[in-house]
Amino acid sequence: MMFSSSLLSSSLRFRASSLVFPAAVGAFLLLAGCAGEERPTAAEFTAAAEETLIEHYYDGSRAAWVQSTYINEDTTALAARFGAEGLTRAVDFAQEAATYDAASEADEVARKLNLLRGGLTLAAPADEAKIEELSQIATRMEAAYGSGKHCPDGPDTSTCRSLGDLEDVIDNSRDADALLDAWEGWRTISPPMRADYQRFVELSNEGAQALGFADTGAMWRSKYDMPPDDFAAEVDRLWDQVKPLYDDLQCHVRAELSDHHGADVVDPAGPIPAHVLGNMWAQSWSNVYDLVAPPAAAPGYDLTGILRSRGASEVEMVRMAEGFFTSLGMESLPDTFWTRSQFVKPQDREVVCHASAWQLDLDEDVRIKMCIDINAEDFSTIHHELGHSYYQLGYRDRVPLFRDSANDGFHEALGDTIALSVTPGYLVDIGLLDEEPSADADLGLLMRMALDKVAFLPFGLLIDRWRWAVFSGEVPPEEYNAAWWRLREQYQGVGAPSERTEEHFDPGAKYHVPGNTPYTRYFLAHILQFQLHRDLCEAIGYEGPLNRCSIYGNEEAGRRLSEMMAMGLSRPWPDALEAATGSREMDATAILDYFAPLAEWLKEQNEGRACGWS
């Protein structure tokens, strides 16, 4: 659930951003040092930088697209080449931008300077050999993840299992031994990344420090229109708002899983072992719904069964999602979207199946990359990914540096806001259900949603908490894995199901770590999506339970979202939030409002239980 879009803050990978510039740009940036040449003004510099960025964006994006949809030695080498070239030019841009005093410039120019200096996901040292090394490492780690398999009997044997094979076990099995085997199996792909990642940290920190940041983590945190330390405090404030609800959910789920698997597998007073939560990373728990659901709380329909019984195809599911956006008054997707996207997993090659949305030309060439299954989860995911695509189309008329969301959490939030409107009423409106289930089923629907959304919140925090500490040196290389599990227990109340040592590198088994994708955006997205949903529902006059509200077909909601999207990155994020919601502050209490009936039920269930974990 990612996107690849803007010039400098591609959320998919640094090679997919527009950091692909010709050698001439370096010469331009050095004009000030040439005898007889006048230094460009900040406005001239940023204008020339944008012109070059937009001119050379497409080739690098295409190389990254092919590398993700056709993984082999050639495509990996080409992606690495473009990555090295792009990083070289990005260093030039960032270092030159840092020589201007942004505070003395007009707002728009100052914003562009700050984006050029600090808008990178990855900064590289000003050394060609190190840039090449960093590009090779980044490409190698992602390729290792994308082609990773667990092969207990050696490579190229019939016993090899891909991530999809192993996820099928984790998602569906109730056998604790089979779950543990699949969980450990996937984590065999990541130890070879460990040395690469350590060097990756060293090189990326060197690049960030050359730009005036303390480390790469501080560079990431500088992108939110507030000082890095203030942003960390803001994240803590939002987490504190929702932590009581999460703690109640964890307590109930742990008790039910302990009853099912036995106290020898799930300690009723300790962290929940990660392999029994129905997700390879224990970031979403919806696959154990049947074990923890309220009694007699069936949702009243089986969307997966409906889609399959009606013979819905992958493309038809995408067409349905497009119809949601056009019902809000938005345009249809370009014809090229349908001919260039990847909807189905190819059988003849390795691809990265992780769902993502791309804007390859910073204009109308928007695409999604998925390996769609005909099920309810992917039906919702498609709505999410098209949220990225429509956001990309919404800001395409902005100047190049502003073609991105207000902050990276907004891009994820928009897609999920739409997914929150995939309600029974919406399914009735598009003909997938004959009638809405009784409100008696809402408690089950809320539990299923909480197992996805509320369960994710601490996971959305800890990925970057770990990386911030690694980048800063607070966590040294000899403690990578131990620190990872300390944070998982601290935030999630989730523990390792078997002994883990520093011979392992469990963070590398999560795509976003080898893929160098900042993760706090997903935490922010989970906060913002409920805030957007609540406030849009209020704006259109809806008065019922929040979980039953859908903005499908409402052009006022579409107008507000379109106004927010059209701003792109041209204004600080509070301006964009205000356009859609009327508020300038992120507010996690919308999550509490949405799940209020479930929260009351959880407290009743947890009476007499020892909640919390040691």
Catalytic, 275? Answer no
Catalytic, 56? Answer no
Q: Which of 132, 142, 412, 489 is catalytic?
A: 412
**From the CA atom positions of the chain, what is the Rg in Å?**
24
Handedness of CA 538, 541, 547, 549 (dihedral sign): negative
For 475: left if phi > 0, alpha if psi spans -120 to 50, otherwise beta; the answer is beta
Query: From CA 136, how far away is CA 123, in angstroms rounded?
Result: 14
For 356: left if phi > 0, alpha if psi spans -120 to 50, otherwise beta; the answer is beta
Contacts 24+ apart (CB under 8 A), 558-562: 558/325, 558/327, 558/328, 558/329, 558/330, 559/329, 560/536, 561/328, 561/414, 561/417, 561/536, 562/328, 562/329, 562/330, 562/394
Mind giving me the DSSP string for 353-410? -S-EEEETTSSS-EEEE----SSHHHHHHHHHHHHHHHHHHHTTTS-GGG-S-SSHHH
Q: Which of 522, 552, 576, 599 is catalytic?
A: 522
- Tokens 């956001």 correspond to 391
Instruction: Kindly state the tokens that stand for 249.
Output: 């959910």
Angle at 187 between CA 156 and CA 157, to 5 degrees: 10
Instruction: Kindly state the tokens that stand for 470.
Output: 């690694």
Closest by CA position to 490, among listed 263, 250, 237: 250
For 473: left if phi > 0, alpha if psi spans -120 to 50, otherwise beta; the answer is left
Q: Which of 275, 512, 526, 533 is catalytic?
A: 512
Q: Which of 208, 355, 357, 406 is catalytic?
A: 355
Closest by CA position to 303, among listed 447, 426, 385: 426
Catalytic, 354? Answer yes
User: For strand 272-273 and strand 356-359, is the pairing parallel, antiparallel, or unpaired?
Assistant: unpaired
Catalytic, 150? Answer no
Q: Which of 252, 388, 411, 526 is catalytic?
A: 388
Q: Which of 384, 411, 526, 533 is catalytic?
A: 384
Q: What are phi and psi of 459, to 5 degrees?
A: -65, -40
Q: Which of 96, 322, 385, 489 is catalytic?
A: 385
User: For strand 272-273 and strand 161-162, is the pairing parallel, antiparallel, or unpaired?
Assistant: unpaired
Which one-letter DSSP state was computed for residue 288? G
End-to-end C-alpha distance for the chain, whole angstroms: 33
Catalytic, 355? Answer yes
Angle at 6 between CA 4 and CA 9, to 5 degrees: 85
Cα 351 to Cα 82, 309, 493: the distances in Å are 19, 28, 33
Q: Which of 56, 354, 411, 526 is catalytic?
A: 354
Catalytic, 388? Answer yes
Catalytic (active-site) positions: 354-355, 384-385, 388, 412, 512, 522
